[in-house]
Structure 1
Amino acid sequence: MGVPMRFEHLLQMAERPGLPEPIRRLRRDGLRALVEAIESVLPEVLLPAKVHLDDDVLAIDDVTVARKAFPPVVIVGGGKATAGMCRSLVALLEESTPFTGAVNIPYGQPVPDKITAPGRRGEVHVTFCSHPIPDEAGVAGVEKMCRIIAASPPETLVLALISGGGSALMPLPAEGITLKDKQAVNRLLLSCGASIREINCVRKHLSRVKGGGLSAVAHPRRVFSLIISDVVGDDLQVIASGPTVPDATTFAEADDIVRRYGILEQLPQSVRRRLADGLAGRIAETPKPGDPIFKNTVNRIIGSAQTAAAVARQSLAQRRYDAGIFAADLHGEARRYGAQLARQLPGFHAGGSRRAAIGTGEFTVTLRGSGSGGRNQEMLLAVLDELSETPHLEAHRLSWVVISAAFDGIEGNSGAMGAVIDSTSLERSKALGIDLRSHLERNDAKAVFQALGDLLVTGQTGTNVNDMTLILIDG
């Protein structure tokens, strides 16, 4: 598998002068596995493998629809991978198939404001908008999606292209809630340490399109939702807050979440009122499993972290590592996991001289300071901090590398996807006079890895699945 040019520079991080050859080899192999994993979940790779169109049928994974059943096609959706999904889908449509649509994607992606292909009978409007805090452009883009769907005939096939980041990129506040209110809620949820499941539970109960709302807009039209997952366990209800998925969560759960994290009193008054009205049954719940609006909706995941992990494992096995997947549900506070990993590193080495372990998931960060970083960087900084405080650990006597990265290319406020550390990182940080604990307390991991030259920077990758942590050890 070739390495796209925009990722090729990551491989050069293995060739740093002054590093011992065993460390350079581990870094080289780990970074190669990372970029091959990223490439495997690019939408232009995933979608053509799952969607097939010929003269008679449209086949999506295990579902087929006769072509005569959907003369017009409407394409909608949002997320960090949605532009690539849309380009690939439009290229698959035949010249005889009329289509229209609208999608929301993050600012900064190199995409024209309309997506089409030579000879095609239509175009999809592109709205650039803000992530992770929604903006007015995002609202306008979702309103455009709803108008296009509403104007289409009942026999229309609606193809929803949903990917990670869609929660922020597809905002449409519920009645009585302003965009400013939604922005305030997002900021509180993102900084309090809540998991993505908890965050999206609250979001769904403040929106007109999340939690199955997009299917409600499209009903009775047939909806096929193609989804690239960025959440642990690939829970359809959680990915982009499940706009085409029945929602099993409740107002009571949303209320409990904001109380448990101590942010209820900081919420805008309109939001507190809506949660109270929902608890009292004065406003309707989100659409639940069994609701007839989902009769014509099909949801299919076309790619996830499991896809990427399998490719990373194969890459490392080809380089003669005893490679395995040690976790598909990494979660919890980043600094706590990092401290645990520092103590557990020797365990990954047991039973072989060249071992590699792959984990996927997503950590959380509780903001305590005003530094720059992200969940993967904070986890790796916590590994180094723990090693600096415990010189007796066996990890100090091994050659190892740990890489942790967000597949969308941007985490936190750092502009980076993650970082790489190795068994020389602690000594190198000491030589630079870096106070690891001080940086950890300020949530300022980026400055550490920038100084070490070990920050992973790609810009937006155009996809988004769960984060990946790679551990390589050579005895």
Structure 2
Amino acid sequence: MDIHPQELLQQLFDSAVAAALPKGNLAEYLPKDTRQKAVVIGAGKAAASMAAELDAIWEGELSGVVVTRYDHGAPCQRIDIIEAAHPVPDDAGERVGRRILELVSGLGEDDLVICLLSGGGSSLLSLPAPGLTLSDKQAINKALLRSGAAIDEMNCVRKHLSAIKGGRLAAAAYPARLIALGISDVPGDEPTVIASGPTVADPTTSAQALAILDHYGIEVGVHVRDWLNSPESETVKPGDERLSRAEFHMIATPQDALDAAADVAMSHDITPLVLGDCIEGESREVAKVHAAIAKQIVKCGQPISAPCVILSGGETTVTIRGQGRGGRNSEFMLSLFNELKGLKGVYALAADTDGIDGVEDNAGAYITPELYQQAEAAGLKAEDYLADNDSYGFFSRLNTLVETGPTRTNVNDFRAILVLPE
């Protein structure tokens, strides 16, 4: 191989992120006439970079506001960039949510609204439903994050506790024309799930939201339960006239990222095995399946032979039982490390394409065959760190965290397991 394994893994990740950046991916979905006036709104980890790209190519009058995560801003001349908290919402997100709703309300059918949406928008665009408070949403959001609930389940609850999600934003903008542009961070690339679908019809129900809360044993106040039991809590449904002038276009997806990484691998004569872009489940359990595939390649040359790289995306979850630090990608990597136990010829990297693994300052972690002996020599036992959900602490001590800083895009998890012949 003409490149060091660790360097190749980093190239694969970098190419995946580059494929999901707004630059070069946004223009084709805009109206042919970019000289008209447009109001811009948006939310997500990529909202600032999307706004900056739109600002650079739009010829007409442009104004508006988008909200992104703290430290994810980007220079923009004509669109206000507001930063707020993620993954648990704060009052900055509530204020900008109210501002965005007011900005689109009262527009006419000759007006144009461009809405920029990406992963993280659910927490960042936080406007509680009538009778609910930000504290209600914060408490429920924290509980959902700790529960191991899937992203579609979390967003079902969020939509029904919101005054702006679940199609309500598009309903408020009607009869203006609304063009929503999205970067997918969810399995299946469903517009209804990205940022909790503020501009599209929502097929889920308030009863389902209640069932999810009950399933995960999340306690809520009587006023929250009363709200979810009321007809007012229902989101905007398919066929609603207020959505007739709203359209949605996906400008980047997790599959785009995997395809880009596969191309880089092939350029180095490494065969890619793409498992899929919508893998879900407990991080540590998903890692066991990936490890089994790597072992089979090493042992039997099946389903493909080395040199090859296993690529996958999606959004795994972590059910928190310990007191440690770490996101789903570093937990995946710790479980993979524990399963492989230094298997010769196997290198791996798992990182979040937004550059932030959970709430930590790393994107993920990487491992090499030699790392297992290093951990043993240092007295580090992967099982103990897994039990405490302390993948960050484990890889920090081994100095193999992947640290990129905010990438200003988000197509979710990226995993690459490189298998080389002995």
Aligned to 1:268: 221
Deviation at 1:386, TM superposition (A): 3.0
What is the SS of the residue equivalent to 2:148?
coil
Aligned to 1:105: 68
Deviation at 1:53, TM superposition (A): 6.0
Q: Note if 1:324 corresponds to 2:289.
A: no
Aligned to 1:462: 408
In 1, the alpha carbon distance for the partners of 2:401 and 2:281 equals 22
What is the SS of the residue equivalent to 2:326?
coil
Contact 1:401 1:423 in 2 (8 A): yes
Aligned to 2:294: 345
Query: Higher Cα Rg: structure 1 or 2?
Result: 1
Q: Which has the higher contact order (CA 8 A, sep 6+)?
A: 2
Mapping of 1:69-468 within 5 angstroms? Answer: 71-94=36-59, 97-111=60-74, 115-116=76-77, 123-263=78-218, 266-277=219-230, 282-283=231-232, 285-349=234-298, 350=301, 351-388=304-341, 396=343, 398-468=344-414
Unmatched 5+ stretches in structure 2: none
Count of residues in correspondence between the two structures: 417
In 2, the alpha carbon distance for the partners of 1:328 and 1:178 equals 36
Structure 1's 329 and 51: CA in aligned 2 closer, same or farther, altered over 3 A?
closer
Contact 1:212 1:242 in 2 (8 A): yes
Deviation at 1:235, TM superposition (A): 0.8
Contact 2:167 2:198 in 1 (8 A): yes
Aligned to 2:25: 46
Deviation at 1:171, TM superposition (A): 0.5
Aligned to 1:10: none
Contact 1:333 1:365 in 2 (8 A): yes
Aligned to 2:4: 25
Aligned to 1:16: none
Contact 2:276 2:311 in 1 (8 A): yes
Deviation at 1:152, TM superposition (A): 3.9
Aligned to 1:12: none
What is the SS of the residue equivalent to 2:55?
helix
Percentage of pairs with the same residue: 36
In 2, the alpha carbon distance for the partners of 1:35 and 1:86 equals 22
TM-score scaled by length of structure 1: 0.84
Deviation at 1:149, TM superposition (A): 1.5
Unmatched 5+ stretches in structure 1: 1-21, 59-66, 117-122, 389-394
What is the SS of the residue equivalent to 1:323?
strand
Counterpart of 1:87, as a letter, is: A
In 2, the alpha carbon distance for the partners of 1:214 and 1:245 equals 9
Deviation at 1:24, TM superposition (A): 7.5
Deviation at 1:379, TM superposition (A): 1.0
Tell me the C-alpha RMSD between the 2 structures: 1.8
Deviation at 1:339, TM superposition (A): 2.7
What is the SS of the residue equivalent to 1:45?
coil
Structure 1's 23 and 168: CA in aligned 2 closer, same or farther, altered over 3 A?
farther
In 2, the alpha carbon distance for the partners of 1:153 and 1:293 equals 12
What is the SS of the residue equivalent to 1:328?
strand
Deviation at 1:462, TM superposition (A): 0.6
In 1, the alpha carbon distance for the partners of 2:3 and 2:332 equals 22
In 2, the alpha carbon distance for the partners of 1:210 and 1:363 equals 23
Structure 1's 193 and 221: CA in aligned 2 closer, same or farther, altered over 3 A?
same
In 2, the alpha carbon distance for the partners of 1:152 and 1:92 equals 24
Counterpart of 2:40, as a letter, is: I
Counterpart of 2:100, as a letter, is: M
In 2, the alpha carbon distance for the partners of 1:344 and 1:129 equals 40
Contact 1:23 1:399 in 2 (8 A): no
In 2, the alpha carbon distance for the partners of 1:124 and 1:327 equals 36
In 2, the alpha carbon distance for the partners of 1:145 and 1:348 equals 52
Aligned to 1:14: none
In 2, the alpha carbon distance for the partners of 1:110 and 1:193 equals 29
In 1, the alpha carbon distance for the partners of 2:172 and 2:100 equals 10
What is the SS of the residue equivalent to 2:188?
helix
Deviation string 1:72-111 (CA, Å, 9 cap, x unpaired) is 31000110001111111111111xx222211111111243
Structure 1's 38 and 348: CA in aligned 2 closer, same or farther, altered over 3 A?
farther
Deviation at 1:33, TM superposition (A): 1.3
Counterpart of 1:251, as a letter, is: S
Deviation at 1:284, TM superposition (A): 5.0
TM-score scaled by length of structure 2: 0.95
Counterpart of 1:309, as a letter, is: L
Contact 1:53 1:92 in 2 (8 A): no
Counterpart of 1:30, as a letter, is: L
Contact 2:23 2:53 in 1 (8 A): yes
Runs of 4+ in 1 over 3 A off after TM superposition: 51-54, 151-154
In 1, the alpha carbon distance for the partners of 2:193 and 2:252 equals 15
